[in-house]
Amino acid sequence: DSGVTQTPKHLITATGQRVTLRCSPRSGDLSVYWYQQSLDQGLQFLIHYYNGEERAKGNILERFSAQQFPDLHSELNLSSLELGDSALYFCASSVSPGQAYEQYFGPGTRLTVT
């Protein structure tokens, strides 16, 4: 158990819908990262928040947005869903955004868009 929790574990929804994925980082961790893993693909970096502020952005679609709240949990919002958005979404947390700080990954949320 990494100490990072993600809810829900599974999510099935239809095209065009909007969903929210939630991540609670390890106690004391200020950085939260979001990744997408599509079938047979590596982990695609989406976005990184540090202490409530956006720190880095990857190839995140405009239909996707995220935020980190004062209690440090983070939400990833996916809207106007398409079939291609079906994937595993992981969040990870670390104490600090620096390279030397290990990222701890949650178990992921599996999103299926039908």
**Interface with other proteins, residue 64, by CB under 8 A:** no
Angstrom distance (rounded) from CA 84 to CA 82: 5
**Interface with other proteins, residue 4, by CB under 8 A:** yes
Question: Residue 76: CA atoms inside 13 Å, Cβ hemisphere, count?
Answer: 32
CA-nearest of 53, 71, 63, 62 to 5 is: 71
**Interface with other proteins, residue 26, by CB under 8 A:** no
**Interface with other proteins, residue 58, by CB under 8 A:** yes
Q: Is 53 exposed, middle or buried (0-12, 13-18, 19+ CB in 10 A)?
A: exposed
**Interface with other proteins, residue 40, by CB under 8 A:** yes
Stretch binding other proteins (CB under 8 A), from 11-19, 61-69, 70-78, 101-109:
101-109
Contact residues toward other proteins (CB under 8 A) are: 2, 4, 33, 35, 40-45, 48, 50, 55-58, 90, 92, 97, 99-100, 102-108
